[in-house]
Amino acid sequence: MSTVEDTHQRTIENGPLPAHPDRVEGTLANGLRYVIVPNKIPPERFEAHLEVLSGSVHEFERQQGMAHLLEHIAYMGSPKRQLISGTGSRTNAYTDFHHTVFFAQCPTQTPGDQFWRKSMLPMALDALLDVMTTKVDEDRLEKERAAVLSEASMVNKMEYRVECQVLSALHSENRISKRFPIGKEDLIKSWTREEVLLYHQIHYRPDNVILYVIGDVTPAATIDLINQKFGSLKPTVDANLLIQQSGEYPPVSMRNISPHFPPVVHQWSSSIENTKRLLPAALVEATAPVPAPVSVPVPGGETARDVNLPRPRIFQHELLQAFSFHLFAKRPMEPIVDKVTLREDIMRRLALSALQIRFNVEQRQHPLFTFIDFNQMNWPREGCTVCSLDLTTETANWREAVTVAIMEIRRLGLYGLTDGELERYKVAVLSEAQQFAAQAQQMSSEDMLTEVMEAQACGHTFMSASQRLSATQTLLDTITLEDVNQASRQLCEHLSHPDGVSVRPCAAVACAPALDREGLPFEVTEQEVLSVIEEAMSLSLSPPVNTEVPLSLISRSELTQRMARTKPAWVDLDGKAAETHEIESAKRLGVIQRKLNNGIKVNIKSLAAEPQRVSVRMYVPGGRLLEHNSKPGAVSLGARTVQEGGACEGYSREEVELFCIDHLVMVDIAATEDSLIFDFQSVTSPGPGGEGVTGLEAVMQVAHIILTDIVWEEDAFERAKLGLHEYFDSVVKGLETACQERLTQTLSGGDQRFCTANHKQLDALSLEDVRDAVSEQLAPSRVEISICGDMSSSVLEKLCLAYLGTVPSREEKKTSLSSLSTPGLGAQLLARRQSSSEKTEKKEDSPVGAPINTIGVFLPDSDERSMGYLAGPAPNKYGLWADGTSIQDAMLVGCGKKDRERRSHVLFPMVALMVLQEVANRRLFSVVREERQLTYDASFSLHNHEGVAGGWYQVSVTSSPSQVQEALRACREALRSLRGTFGVMGDSVQSAKRTLVNRQRSESQTNKFWVESMSGVQVSSVPVKGLGVIADFESVLAGITVQDIHRLMEVLVFDEREMTACVGISSPSPPPEMIFQQ
């Protein structure tokens, strides 16, 4: 920290931050630490997490991958974990550089439908205790060895390889660069039980773990239980002696500061003074040396200075789809424990917010980036704070993109913020703290657990939301422009004020495809990257300029005039919403349904579960299904163009964007196969300084503008096209996505509306094409708005009347939209499907080994990977086949009166399919992973739309090229095993039902759940969907029986003669036994 800042900070009354009043921390006699925080959201549930403070960075040279393998063994080998399966609990485990974590999310009591009821906390702690006492059985070792090797293939995607390149460069001076959790395949194959057990004995000892219990628990009783379960644990080896004898850890490392940090030494990018302030002398002396310099002159006032730039790491691969650039500075971590450190953190957030918006504005003016982010984050897993610039761009634009990014960071470091920016982002930071405090009583135990663990690892003081708000309010008032600009300088100093010694970037990485989009060779060299960085660091810069931001996009007088012209009014409901059952469901749910005289339909739900927050969804049926066959991709590109744009009558794009930022408005626009979806999130509080409109009113203004006054801009169109070009590249260059695209093409009969638009199709589209494709769907009579938030229904109704009711009526252009509600739409979706009578007939099964229609996908790659898929016809979400028949009709054949009553409910097909999906996933795991040891992961999913009749099921499995066919056969057997009287057991159905009801209850406390669930309930093209989907869900789910699932399997059949298999392989050369499409 500079002398100037030190002097200023002394004028601020410092003091420790207050700790959360409910947090309880302690240590058992054997050294095991625990942290307990009572929290009743959700009620009668808790989280228990066991953190072992050893991860992949703690492995010796011959142990690379052992932390992860042991995680599998300890988790899967726990007999007590099996006892909490099927109780509505969720368990899992994960390994990172610095730790291994095992967790259980459980109800406080076992389910009421079990014949015994008991407390779940002792059972969860027993399962975690198993982790500490595992014996590493030979059988479990071999099963998990196979699973880990399969997982290594699964994770080895291009994103993972890029991450490895980035982290290897960032930490080239220490062992992090060589200790990725997945490990080394040859070593994983070689370990004996004794070697793995020794690793367990060294690291899984009581003084090296922390137990977190967050939820509906009593601290005193929980402490007693922890003592009872874990108090007798003792270390069985002298771990410190064995580690010391290995000679593999540095004698002084970041772990000396905190047991949460890895045993490494860093090369810092901060000044020597700052490093000495934050680190003990021994660790400063042990700091890794700076590599040989690359001298670059940088203007610095009257004299030029030299900065030592790192040699860039270049990674090129044929499967990369865009150029990405990553530039880093590494600094010692400073815990936030008092007012001074919290104030510094707030000022950094102000500076980062300003810079990110500048990037956004620059991007909209000159579309260089498809992604850009500059941030500074504390990373306990790496034992440091990392300041990072990450961007992606087209290969043709990389020089300019890198130059502009570095210039803007330097501009922030040299000149800081403007007065307007400071006030805007101070308001935003305060509003965020207010929102957080308002929602504190609704914070879930899972979210609180994440905060507790992060604070524990970083050494921060864990505060309550109200304590944080109070401190933030007090400190914001002390922050001046001079203060925040000093913080901006410190944040950006490695680029704006390098000193030629230690203040400098520490790593640079450029990742690029081997071929550009035209298929021509593309190459980038270290010297080229260095030259661009040098130039960007040497250019002269001017200070930023203030931009005036409107307080409202539609003035009160203008709104009054629009209301006088259009005369908005509510009219009687019609269609589904007028039906008796829907009216009753609306009353039960507290939902208000209205319709405006311009045709816009409105669903309103007042919900206080997310205080001061609101979500709005504008749903327009149609989507890509209304694309003309001569213009594939027009709707997708049009929706993306609206997202990239924003200018409207009287305001520029920049003004509208800053208006949204000031009012905390987030907008996301997507085109699905059967709809256009506009999602908005904001707050119910006023904008900056309490002036102007609320966040919700700002949302309504933006929605009004989209429906009336949006300006279709050529540059927004070009940015959108650039984004979809990159998206297409990511699809065809990713093994999983390429396989799924081929399956979609096959199952849809080549219908382009279900496929990703390719380069040729995108380039053939004009701005007029995409404007017409979207605008024609936005007639008010097609639009449905669903709103859920912390505001009274009467206020929501008034806003809807004012802003949605003033959208002028216009004649709906005649399209094929009406066919969305006709049975048979989507008949092209599936190749062939027998009539409903044929589906239910008894058919002779084909042998499991019999050949099925198989397509292949090959991607040239230096590393071998493989994916397998099975897919076939399935009904849509509500049970309709592509030919318009329903599984419900088939399931009613021959059933008794009671079964007929249950199965006749309109929701029965949807809920039964959901239960089956859960059951099928469990069966795949049991057969393909546990019994056959052929994969790390196999999953079953239903791809079923709401507005399209028909869909398909999909089974996916990760494997190796040599085993993928065997894995697919095992998947076929697993599906076949679900058939018959004993194919599905009652406990599997009950477990699936508990999972679904817990998920529903948790999600129903969010605004997002309600706007998604209400969307389409007044739309005729989704005839089955109504508010009963929400109101009757639990009662229909409770009635599902194992016999229902048996009958469902008879109806669905999953006939292997109707299956399509897809085998995807990436390797240096295609396998000879199949013809693969590249």
CB 684 within 8 A of CB 616: no
What sign does the CA torsion over 982, 986, 987, 993 have? positive
d(CA 62, CA 183): 10
CB 359 within 8 A of CB 654: no
Told to judge if 714 belongs to the known catalytic residues of this protein, a careful annotator would answer no
Calculate the CA 906 to chain-centre distance: 32
Rounded to 5 degrees, what angle do the CA atoms 969, 973, 979 make?
Answer: 155
CB 389 within 8 A of CB 325: yes
Residue tagged active-site, from 47, 51, 59, 71: 71
Angle between helix axes 714-732 and 339-365 (nearest 10 degrees) is: 100
CB 983 within 8 A of CB 1049: yes
Residue 961 burial (10 A CB sphere; 0-12, 13-18, 19+): middle
Residue tagged active-site, from 47, 51, 59, 144: 144
Tokens representing residue 699 in the block = 């949302």
Residues 6+ apart with CB under 8 A from 33: 25, 26, 27, 209, 210, 211
Calculate the CA 123 to chain-centre distance: 31
Nearest to 1052 by CA among 985, 987, 976: 976
CB 388 within 8 A of CB 269: no
Distances (CA, A) of 185 to 146, 147, 190, 933: 11, 12, 9, 16
CB 1011 within 8 A of CB 617: yes
User: What residue type is assigned to position 974 of the chain?
Assistant: A
Report the first-to-last Cα separation within the chain, whole angstroms: 55
User: What residue type is assigned to position 137 of the chain?
Assistant: D
Tokens representing residue 413 in the block = 């470091």
CB 855 within 8 A of CB 1062: yes
d(CA 246, CA 61): 10
Told to judge if 71 belongs to the known catalytic residues of this protein, a careful annotator would answer yes
Nearest to 133 by CA among 62, 210, 80: 80
Beta bridge partners of 289: none
Distances (CA, A) of 439 to 51, 261, 464, 466: 27, 32, 11, 10
Nearest to 533 by CA among 303, 309, 290, 372: 309
Residue 289: asked if its preceding bond is cis (omega within 30°), the reply is no
Parallel/antiparallel/unpaired status of strands 507-513 and 313-317? parallel
For the CA atoms of 319, 322, 323, 327, what is the dihedral angle to 10 degrees? -90
Specify the residue for token string 């059951």: 919
The residues annotated as belonging to the active site are 71, 144
